[in-house]
Amino acid sequence: IDIIIVLKDTPLAFNEIQSRLKIYSDTLSRRLKELEEFGIIEASITQEKKGKRVRYGLTVKGNKIAILLIEGMKILNTAEKLL
């Protein structure tokens, strides 16, 4: 869930995701692969001055899931305040 939320606004490189989430690289690699297999994220390769760079971004399906997750969290926060 955290990876989807982090990628909601913009595609990020592996190390950018890792530093934001404070997650082990092998764990992040597995999660990215799983999300890619489910069609939630996609990897894109860009050419930069220092060479090629892979960035991960949400697919259309991933964006829909991100919206649902965020709205769900808002509902939970509101419910917690009422209880």
Tell me which residue of 7, 13, 80 sits closest to 44, measured CA to CA: 13
Please state, as a whole number, how many other Cβ atoms lie within 10 Å of the Cβ of residue 77: 9
- Looking at the chain, the whole-number percentage of residues with pLDDT higher than 70 is 100
pLDDT at 54 over 90: yes
Helix (H) or strand (E) holding 43: strand 41-48
Res 46: pLDDT:
85
| pLDDT for 50 beyond 90 | no
